[in-house]
Amino acid sequence: MAVVSRCSRAATAATTANATTATTFTYLIRSLSPFSSSSSTFDPQNDLNNRNKPAVLGTLKRESKGRNVQWVFLGCPGVGKGTYASRLSNLLGVPHIATGDLVRDELASSGPLSSQLKEIVTQGKLVSDEIIIDLLSKRLEAGEAKGESGFILDGFPRTVRQAEILEGVTDIDLVINLKLREEALLAKCLGRRICSECGGNYNVACINIKAENGRPGMYMAPLPPPPQCASKLITRPDDTEEVVKQRLRIYQAMTRPVEDFYRSRGKLLEFDLPGGIPESWPKLLCALNLEDREDKQSAAA
């Protein structure tokens, strides 16, 4: 399979119609009942309290042949798509492909797209479909050459056209839409830090929102760096209040329709983050009917 040529053909076809490909599933995901056939919503505050309620997703059954899961993470900038996609990547043994990382790698490479991307990113604009598809195609092609199977996409698709192109290339099993209240989103984005040496991602923000007007409180602890990285932290150039707010406005206008695209196809699982990783991770696993045994063992130690 030539991934680049497939993406190119799909990009052309997406302007007129959606295309799908039949594929053997490694993980068979049952209906999203008891919710509507168009989408599922998992409310951690309520759904976990009713132990007699059926799980949001049925059992994930591993088959001996075929491909691995092909999932997509949606959500506003800074919601934590990369964090949870990376954890699921490790748990399920599939590559986590973040288009934001692909863009940053291209920026650092000083390649032909570097200067063009720098201007786009610092202004908080969306990178064009053509650039993103080119970068993603190269990444998928390289992964295929290494024998990778399946993926968890983070940051793509961001527009309906991109979703149509992706659907013409492969069959997405599930789209997980992470949701977080806006005041927490803004604080998280402004608190993000990167180690200039190892590239590790951390967050210095301590978010403590009090309960009021019937809304539950929320606490998200900082994610501090290890001692060897503490003096090497830098802020992403696009993590300023003005740019973050602009990214959120762009998301509302352009990316929310992508949610409707997948909702109409019965592939959208909406998950409201109740807090930081300690609160949200086990509840997300419950929503997906998965179990992280290593996490349980470390918690019991």
Is residue 118 annotated as part of the catalytic site, yes or no?
A: no
Identified catalytic residue from 6, 67, 247, 263: 247
Is residue 51 annotated as part of the catalytic site, yes or no?
A: no
Is residue 139 annotated as part of the catalytic site, yes or no?
A: no
Is residue 192 annotated as part of the catalytic site, yes or no?
A: yes
Identified catalytic residue from 67, 87, 139, 192: 192
Identified catalytic residue from 138, 232, 236, 265: 236
Identified catalytic residue from 81, 188, 193, 267: 81
Is residue 6 annotated as part of the catalytic site, yes or no?
A: no
Query: CA 250, 134, 78, 213 torsion: positive or negative?
Result: positive
Identified catalytic residue from 158, 188, 263, 267: 158
Structure tokens that stand for 293 in this block: 């045994």
Known catalytic residues are 81, 158, 192, 236, 247
